[in-house]
Amino acid sequence: MELSGREKLDFVGDIHANSRKLLILLEKLGYKNTEAGWVHPDNRQLVVLGDFINVGSDNHQTLEILYKMWMNKSAYIILGNHEYFLAWYFFKHGSSAFTSPKSPLFPDYETLLSEFSKNIDELCVYAEWLMCLPLYIKNVKFRAVHACWSEENIEQLSKYKNLNELFLSFNGEKPKKEKKLKRAINETVEGKKMSLYINGKIEKPVKLRVKWWQSIYNKPLTQSILTNKPVKYPDVTITPEIFPDFNPYEETERPIFFGHYWFQSLPYLLRNNACCLDFGAAKGGYLSAYRWDGEMQLDAGKIVYV
C-alpha cells in the first residue's frame, strides 16, 4: 500500500489483544477518546504493525478500538501472521472456521474464538475487514511491514491492494507462480527463516528466524538468528552455501518499522533506520510505539512504551 503526504505517524508494535496497554499507550501518545473513537488533536495517525489479535485475552475490545480508528481514518492497519491465518481460513471455510472443532484455528485461536462464541456474526465482520487490509505500507520516506521487508516479495505483493485480491488470485495462478506468491506472503508476515539440523538429533531441520535487517554472512549463527528458546546452537559460520541469496536491509535505505520478533528487554532502537517495536506486550513485556515526524534518521528518544 502506497501512502503519501503523511509525516505525523505513530508506529505501534504487536498489541496481541492487550487492550489495557493499548488504551494507556494511546493516552500517553496524546490521543483522545471521542464518540467517533480515538483521535489525535494534532491529526497524528496510528500505524499498527500487525499481530493485534491472539495471545492476549481481550481480542474483542482491541478489535473494536482499532476498527473504529480505521473507519474514522485515525489509524492505518497492517496485517501480521495472526490476522493473516485467521482471514485465510475464514476465506476458505466461512464461519465454520470459527466453530468447527476440526478447524485449523484450534487450539491456537481458542481464547479469541471463545470471546466471540456467542456472536460469530460479529467475528465474521471483523474477518471480512481483515481481508480489506494491506500487508505493508510505504512512501518515499519510510516502509512498514509486520515481519520482513524484501523488495522481491513486495514486488510480488504490489499487484494486489489487499488480502481479498490475493486470495482470489490463488485459483487463477499457475502452480509455480502461486507458490512464489505464497512464499512472498509468508516471508512478509513471518520473516525469513533458515533451516538447520541441530546436533544431528532432530529428524527434520529446525527453522530459525533470520535477522534480515543486517549482514549475516561470515558471522556466527548466534549473531544471525533470533530465538527465545534456551537451545545450544552449533558453532556455525553463515555462508552463502548455508543460506543463499540473502540481501540485508541496507543502512542507506529509508527507515523501516516492523514488529513480530518479541525482544525480551526494554524497548530500544536496532539501528538509525531499523525499528522493531515488538517487546512482548501480551507476555509481561512492553507495548511500544515510535513517534515519527518525517525524519530519515531515527531517534531512540522517540520510542514510547507502557
Tens digits of per-residue pLDDT, 93-131?
999 999 998 999 999 999 999 999 999 999 999 999 999
Cα Rg, the chain, nearest whole Å = 19
Residue 5 confidence (pLDDT): 64
pTM value is: 0.94
Tens digits of per-residue pLDDT, 12-50?
999 999 999 999 999 999 999 998 899 999 999 999 999
CA distances in angstroms from 276 to 147, 156, 264, 287, 297, listed in the order given: 9, 23, 12, 11, 15
Tens digits of per-residue pLDDT, 262-298?
999 999 999 999 999 999 999 999 999 999 999 999 9
| Topology at the third CATH level for domain 9-150+250-305 | Purple Acid Phosphatase; chain A, domain 2 (3.60.21)
In this structure, what C-alpha cell is assigned to residue 117?
A: 462464541
Delimit the domains of the chain by residue range. 9-150+250-305, 193-245
CA distances in angstroms from 233 to 143, 194, 237, 292, listed in the order given: 32, 13, 11, 37
Q: How far apart are CA 98 and CA 121, in angstroms?
A: 10
